[in-house]
């Protein structure tokens, strides 16, 4: 699965936030699900809730932790 996708098909957030604002928002709500991410499980990809931990500027990707796999 490609690491980068056009999010306009998936993003439904009404407010525009910068990466720094997203990280701050997520850090104040640690332990909660902040987004959905595709996870390979049982020979297929499925969308699972994840906690946003950080953002890698070089890779231009968010670092996340899968909250639930069931």
* Alpha helix ranges (H) inside 1-70: 19-27
Overall pTM > 0.75? no
State the pLDDT at residue 51.
Answer: 92
pLDDT 10s digits, 31-69: 888 888 888 888 999 899 999 999 998 988 889 999 976
Q: Contact 7/19 with Cβ under 8 angstroms?
A: no
14 has a pLDDT exceeding 70: no
Measured between alpha carbons, how far is 25 from 17 in angstroms, rounded to an integer? 10
State the pLDDT at residue 9.
Answer: 54
Q: How many CB atoms lie within 10 A of CB 51?
A: 18
- CA nearest neighbour of 51 among 36, 39, 38, 61: 36
Using the 8-state DSSP alphabet, how is residue 9 labeled? G
């Amino acid at each position: 699965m490609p690491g980068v996708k056009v999010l306009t098909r998936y993003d439904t957030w009404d407010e525009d936030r910068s990466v720094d604002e997203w990280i701050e928002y997520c850090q104040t709500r640690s332990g909660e699900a902040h987004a959905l991410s595709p996870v390979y499980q049982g020979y297929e990809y499925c969308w699972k809730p994840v906690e946003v931990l950080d953002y890698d500027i070089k890779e231009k990707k968010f670092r996340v932790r899968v909250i639930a796999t069931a």
